[in-house]
Structure 1
Amino acid sequence: MGITVWIRRFLLSGICTLCICAVVAVFLSCSTASAAPSAEEMQRALDTHTGFMESLEILNPLDQAAYPPDFAPPLVAWEPSGFAQEHWLVRVELKDRSVLAASGQPFWRMDQDTWDAVRALAVKQPVRIHVTSFDGDRPAALGETRLSVAPDPFDARVLVQRIPVPFLHAQDNPGLSRWLLDDPTTLEPPVTVLSEMPHCGNCHTVSGNGKVFGMDIDLHGDKGGYALTDMDRDLRLGPDQFISWSRYKPDQPRRSMGLFTKLSTDGRFAVTTVKEKSFFIPIDHVTYSQLFFPIRGHLAYYDRQTGTMAALPGADREDRVQTSPALSPDGKWLVFAGAPLNQELLDAIGDRKFLPANGRYIDELNDLYPYQFDLYRMPFDQGRGGEPQPLAGASANGMSNYFPRYSPDGRWVVYCRAPTGLVQQPDSELWIVPAQGGQARRLACNTEPFNSWHSFTPNGRWIVFSAKQVSVFTQIYAAHLDEQGRASRPVLLDALAEHGAAFIIPEAVPADIPLRSIRIDVPAPDTTS
C-alpha cells in the first residue's frame, strides 16, 4: 500500500507532484533523523499532559464504521497536523486493556492479534481508537474514531476497473487501464486479471450466480462489441465469445453501443441500451472528468439460449429515453431509468459526439444542461416485456434517479439519486426503496461527496460502491445492510486506492469465482498504415 494514498487532502487536492514527493520524503525520514519515543513513553507523556490539544482528523475508519467479521486487519489513517517533529501514538481500547502502537507515518495497520481481540469485542459494542499527534515529546493533537463488527460475512470478491484520470486520458490510452479482483478478507494485493488492453473496454458485469461474464469491448471500430461468455479461471475472449449490439436493427438510424448492460442472475439474458445518443462533455479535471447521460435510446435484450436479439416491449419507445436496466433475481421484473426526450439537448449536441467544456467545471455544466431520470418497473417475462409503471419513491421526486440494483432476495432496489444527470455527479447519493415501490430512504453509508456505482454481495448483506470520501480519486467502499434495509457507515477497501488513478464499476462477485486472468484473443487494429 503506497504512502501517497494516505497522505490525504493536502496531497490529493491539487498540490504538485514535487510537493507530494517532498512531504513523503519528510515522513520517510522522520523515523531515522531522530529516535522517536516508544508507545509507552508517549502514553506516559499523554497521561500527565494538562495543556490544550488540537483536533486531529481520523480518515479511516470513519466514525461508527461497521466491518465484516472476516475482513483483513483494518488500516487506521489520519491527517497529519504538520508539526516539525511529528509522530503518533495509536491506542485501541479493549474491554480490559489497551493496545498501544507508535507510528512515524500517518497510518498504522492493526496486527492480527489486535484485530482478533477487536472483532471479539466489536460485535457487542463499538471499539474506540485514539490517535495522538506528538510535536517532539509534547502531545499536540488528538482524534478518536469508533468501529463495530457486523454479524454477516463478506461473501464476495470485488471486480473493479482501475483507470488513469481524467476520462479522456483513459479513453485515449486503453492499455493503461487494468481490471483487478480484490479479496478484502486478506492482505494479499488484488489480482490483475486484465491489463495492456489492446482495445477500448469499459463496463464489466458478472451474472448473480457468478457463471457468466460480460464486458464492453470495442473490436475494430465496432462500438457495439460485447464479450459474453461462461466464467472460467482463464478467460480467452476470441471472436466466438463476442456478440455485437450493432446488429440490432442495423438498417435503422443510429448505431447501438449497448450502454449499461446487465445480466440475469442465471446469465441467460443480457439487457442493454440500444440506438442511443449520448450527451457527452469531457472535462479536463481529475475529480469529475465528464458530463454524460443518454438523451435517446431504448432497451433491448439478448438471449444466450436462442441467440435472439430484440427490443424489450414496453421499454422500446422512441419518444423517451430508457436506460440503466436491472433485472430482479428471479428474472420476472426489470427496473430501468427513463426520461422524456429533451429537444433542446438534442439540438445542442446535434450530430457531434461530444461538446467542448470550454473551461467549465461539472457544477456549471449541470446548471447549463439539467436532465432528470425516473425509475420505472415492468415485467421482463423472458423478453416479452410489459407496461412500465413509475417506481413509487424513486420517481416524480424532483431528482434524477438512476443505476438501480436489486438486492439478491428481491426485496429492495438500491439506486443513485442526484439533482441532475447520471454519471459522476458530485451530489449523487445512494437511496433504497422497496422493490414494488414505496417509501424511499437515504442510506447511512453515504459519504461526502459523491456516491455512485454499487452492487450487492451474494448474501445481500453488503453493498460495495464508489466514493470520494478521502480522495479526489474514486475509491471503493463497503457497507453493511440489515434485513430492514438499514445501512451502516462504510469501510474503505484500502487495496483499491491509489494516487493518480480511479477505481470504478465495483462488482461484488461470488467469493468462489475462479477468475484469475482475461486475455483478448482478437488482434488490435493496425494503426500504422
Structure 2
Amino acid sequence: MNPKLTWSLRRVWPGLIGLLALTIGIMLGLAPGRSSEPPPHARLVNRLPMLRPDYSDTVIPPNIAPLNFRVAEPGRAFWVEVRGERGMSIRIGSRASTVEIPAAPWRALLTTNAGSRIYFDVFAREPGGAWDRFLSVTNRVALEPIDGTLVYRLLGPLYNYYNDIGIYQRDLEGYRQKLIVDSSDIGHHCLNCHTFLNGRPDTFAFHVRGVAGPQPMILVQSNQVSRVDNTAGYFSWHPSGRLIAYSANKLSFFVHTTGEARDVFDADSDLKIYRVDANRVETPPVIGQPDWNETWPAWGPTGRHLYFCRARKQTLRDFRKVRYDLARVSYDLARDAWGKVETLVAAADSGLSASEPVVSPDGRWLLFCLAPYGNFPIYQPKADLYVMDLRTRHWRRLSINSDQADTWHSWSRNGRWVVFSSKRDNGLLARPYFTYVDEQGTFYKPFLLPQRDPAYYDAYLKTFNRPELVTGPVAVSRAALARAVLRPERVRRPASSVAEDQTPAAPHYSTAQ
C-alpha cells in the first residue's frame, strides 16, 4: 500500500470510527449528552432504579464532580435524563449500563439548581424491545460548596504492608488525582498521619515511621519544608499556627484468632506541645500524667480548648478492658496557661471507647468516634461516629453509620460538609463518603466520592485513609518533601532534645518546585 495513503488512513481512521458511532447513536437516540426524546410508550416500574454507587435521596455540593453511575438493572440499552427543578436537563443514551455525565452541562445544571432538587429519570430497554421507566431518583443540591481538594492516604489492607503508601490529593470538582508524596520517595518508610492548618494547602505536617533514629515530623509552612526530629503520633495545629499538639505513642500491632484479626494496643502515650516559632517541645503536666494514656489531640477552632482522649494505663492482657474518655482542657495562648481537664464523655457511662475528636469550624459540633474498646477504631466493625452539641453537652449516635467501621472524619471550612472513611461496602477497604450537615446538626445520607468510572471501586484494592478537606491543591513538590526526610542536614531539632549548653539547630528550608 502507498505509504502516504497508509499514513492518511491512520490519521483519519479514528475520526471516521467516532463519526460512524455518533451517527448510529443519534439514529438510536443513544448519543451521550445530546438532546433526544425519551423512549415512547414506556411501561412504568413502580420503584426506584438500582444505581451503583447509590446516588439517591442525598444532598450534594454545587461544585462536586459528575455523579457517574451504573444502572444495576437488566436491559439491552438505557436512556437517562438528568434534570433540575429550576430548569436545564442532560439526556444520555447508551447500550451499556454505565452513565457518564458530561462535565460542563453538569456544572451548569448544579449552578442553576443550587438550593433545589435534581432528578435522574432512568429508562431500560427489555430484550424484546419494550422500554421500562422507573420512578425518578431525587437529590438535593446544597447552596454551600465543599472545599475543593481532598487529601488522603492510599495503602493496602494488610497491617504489616507499609512500604507502599502514598499521600494523594483529589480535585473534587473533577476526577484528577495527584500524588503528594510516596513511600518510595523516602526509602519505603511509613508515611503516617497528615494534618493541615485551618484547611490551608500550603501549611501542613506529616509523620514518618521506620527511619533510623528519631521518627521525624515533616513540617510545611507556606510551602517551605523542614524536618523536626523527636515527634510522633497524631497531630493537631493550633489555629494560630504557633503550636502543634501531638501524641507520643508506644503502639503494638497484634492479631486475633477470630473475627477481624488486626488490632493495635497503646502501651504508653502522652501529649506534647511543639512550639513552631521557638522550635521547642514541651510536656505540660496536665496532658502528660504518668498514670494516664493521652492521645488523639484536637484543638478547637478558637484555640481555647484542646480536646483529646485518655484512659488509665493497663497491660496488653487486658486490652479489651481499655476504654478511653473523651476530654478537653482549656488553654490561654497569651498567658501560656492551662486549665483543668474536664471529661465530656466518660467511658464508664458510655461503655465505649472514644477516639478521633474533631470540632466544627463554628465551634458548636464535636464529632468523634466510639468503639467497644481501645483507641484504633478502624479495625473495629462496631466503630461508629457520634456528635456532641457543645452548647448543651448532649451527644448522640449518628444515623449515617453502617454495620462496618465508620471513622476518620474531617469538616469543611464552612462547616456544612463532613468526609469520613467507611468500610460499609465490603468490610475490608475504607472508602471516602461525604455527608451534608445543616444548621440544626442533622447529618444527611452519605454519598461516595465520585469517580469517572462508576465501577472503579469494584476492583480497587487499596483503602482510603485519613481523608481531610483542604481549600485548594497542595503545591509543594514531592522532591522537596523527600529531601527533608532523606537528607540529615535538613533536620530541625527541638530544644528539648539537645543538651542545655547547645543552641537548637536552625531550620533548613527547601521551597516548592
Q: TM-score, normalised by structure 2?
A: 0.75
CA distance in 2, matches of 1:340, 1:122: 52
1:500: how far off? 1.0
1:445: how far off? 4.1
Structure 1 portions without partners, runs of 5+: 1-30, 246-257, 349-367
CA distance in 1, matches of 2:130, 2:257: 44
Corresponding residue for residue 49 of structure 1: 43
1:289: how far off? 6.8
Change (3 A) 1:412 1:305: same
Corresponding residue for residue 25 of structure 1: none
Change (3 A) 1:227 1:376: same
Q: Is 2:458 aligned against 1:511?
A: no
RMSD: 3.6
1:428 corresponds to which of 362, 366, 383: 383
* Residues 324, 354 of structure 2: 8 Å contact kept: yes
Q: Secondary structure at the match of 1:511?
A: coil
Q: Secondary structure at the match of 2:351?
A: coil
Letter of the 1:127 counterpart? I
2:236 corresponds to which of 244, 248, 262: 262
CA distance in 2, matches of 1:103, 1:375: 52
Corresponding residue for residue 410 of structure 2: 455
* Residues 327, 333 of structure 1: 8 Å contact kept: yes
Q: Secondary structure at the match of 2:339?
A: coil
Corresponding residue for residue 192 of structure 1: 179
Change (3 A) 1:400 1:105: farther
CA distance in 2, matches of 1:418, 1:38: 52
Corresponding residue for residue 365 of structure 1: none
2:230 corresponds to which of 244, 250, 253: 244
Letter of the 1:259 counterpart? G
Corresponding residue for residue 53 of structure 2: 60
1:452: how far off? 1.0
CA distance in 2, matches of 1:102, 1:284: 51
CA distance in 1, matches of 2:432, 2:123: 27
1:438: how far off? 0.9
2:303 corresponds to which of 314, 324, 331: 331
Q: Secondary structure at the match of 2:338?
A: coil
Aligned residues: 444
1:41: how far off? 9.7
* Residues 277, 296 of structure 1: 8 Å contact kept: yes
**What pairs up with 1:164-203 in 2 under 5 angstroms?**
164-169=156-161, 171=162, 174=163, 176-187=164-175, 189-195=176-182, 196-197=184-185, 198=187, 199-203=189-193
What do the CA deviations read for 1:89-120 (whole angstroms, capped 9, x no partner)? 32334446864322344432322454246425
Q: Secondary structure at the match of 2:106?
A: helix
Q: Secondary structure at the match of 2:145?
A: coil
* Residues 166, 289 of structure 1: 8 Å contact kept: no
1:486: how far off? 2.2
CA distance in 1, matches of 2:58, 2:308: 31
Q: Is 2:154 aligned against 1:162?
A: yes
Q: Secondary structure at the match of 2:172?
A: coil
Change (3 A) 1:204 1:129: same
Q: Which has the larger radius of gyration?
A: 2
1:485 corresponds to which of 429, 441, 448: 441
Letter of the 1:509 counterpart? V
Q: Secondary structure at the match of 2:373?
A: coil
Corresponding residue for residue 503 of structure 2: none
Change (3 A) 1:128 1:519: same
* Residues 156, 458 of structure 1: 8 Å contact kept: no
Corresponding residue for residue 410 of structure 1: 363
Corresponding residue for residue 28 of structure 1: none
* Residues 394, 433 of structure 1: 8 Å contact kept: no
CA distance in 1, matches of 2:345, 2:323: 16
Letter of the 2:61 counterpart? P
* Residues 89, 101 of structure 1: 8 Å contact kept: yes
1:467: how far off? 1.6
* Residues 467, 474 of structure 1: 8 Å contact kept: yes
1:510: how far off? 2.4
1:484: how far off? 2.6
CA distance in 2, matches of 1:37, 1:284: 57
Corresponding residue for residue 430 of structure 2: 474
* Residues 448, 469 of structure 1: 8 Å contact kept: yes
**What pairs up with 1:299-378 in 2 under 5 angstroms?**
299-343=271-315, 345=316, 347=317, 369=320, 371-378=322-329
CA distance in 1, matches of 2:179, 2:365: 32
* Residues 400, 443 of structure 2: 8 Å contact kept: yes
Structure 2 portions without partners, runs of 5+: 1-20, 489-513
